[in-house]
């Protein structure tokens, strides 16, 4: 279980653990000015299966939280008094033509994924679970979006595959990547509002949970 610490310029009313090694999620919390420690769950995600993408991302986020908690001495966190410690875990999948797509495992699979997105659209389903380690209470939230693409040139697809980033993200899709972003036509929330990019949607979900969950669960 890897750990790391990040500190802001001002204090916050809770301690925060990010249960993910995702660079994008780290950047989101840093941009919010939050102080946090990083721990990774290191679970076998492939061993956890659900047919419904909503159920899958939620159960994976909860499994990551449970794995991290199993390695902690919870009694230490329950002695912290008025400053709770919050553990944030999350997961995301891409759904294309009704099929759940997680991280590609081969170049051919990654190529198939990306070519399928070109000129079309995919759905993304993301979960964020916040566990209050001081009280044991837990809150989860889902974020869904439709992503529309312009045609993605073959050379861009090959460059993404050669770089290797596609093998570390659900569906081989990292929207904020400088090679991918120019070909994202639009990102729409399931309720129909137009969003600038996926990162903004994740940020709002994380802000809501991390900044307010401690008030609900003390």
Instruction: Compute how many other C-beta atoms are within 10 angstroms of the C-beta atom of residue 82.
Output: 9
Residues 6+ apart with CB under 8 A from 50: 56, 59
Q: Which of 18, 29, 26, 54 is nearest to 142 (CA)?
A: 54
In angstroms, how far is CA 2 from the centroid of its own chain?
A: 17
Please give the Cα distance from 98 to 15 (Å, whole number).
39
Give me the residues paired with residue 5 across strands. 37
> Which among 44, 91, 151, 154 is annotated as catalytic?
91
Please, how many CA atoms are within 13 Å of residue 20, restricted to the half-sphere of its CB? 24
Q: Which residue has the tokens 């990547």?
A: 177
Structure tokens of 118? 């070109």
Instruction: Please confirm, yes or no, whether 55 is among the known catalytic residues.
Output: no
Residues 6+ apart with CB under 8 A from 10: 33
109 burial type by CB count under 10 A (0-12 exposed, 13-18 middle, 19+ buried): middle
* Catalytic site positions: 91
């Amino acid at each position: 279980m890897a750990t790391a610490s990040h500190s802001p310029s001002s204090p916050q009313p809770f301690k925060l653990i990010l249960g993910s090694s995702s660079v994008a999620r780290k950047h989101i919390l840093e941009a919010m000015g939050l102080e946090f420690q990083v721990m990774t769950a290191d679970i076998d995600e492939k061993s956890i299966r659900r047919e419904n993408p909503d159920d899958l991302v939620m159960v994976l986020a909860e499994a990551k939280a449970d794995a991290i908690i199993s390695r902690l001495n919870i009694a230490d966190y329950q002695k912290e008094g008025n400053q709770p410690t919050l553990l944030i875990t999350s997961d995301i999948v891409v759904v294309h033509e009704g099929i759940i797509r997680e991280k590609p495992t081969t170049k051919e699979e990654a190529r198939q994924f990306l070519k399928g997105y070109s000129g079309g659209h995919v759905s993304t389903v993301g979960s964020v679970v916040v566990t209050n380690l001081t009280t044991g209470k837990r809150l989860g939230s889902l974020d869904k979006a439709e992503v529309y693409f312009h045609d993605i040139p073959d050379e861009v697809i090959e460059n993404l595959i050669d770089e290797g980033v596609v093998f570390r993200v659900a569906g081989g899709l990292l929207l904020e990547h400088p090679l991918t972003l120019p070909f994202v036509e639009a990102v729409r929330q399931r309720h129909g509002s137009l969003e600038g990019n996926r990162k903004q949607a994740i940020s709002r979900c994380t802000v809501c949970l991390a900044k307010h969950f401690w008030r609900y669960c003390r």
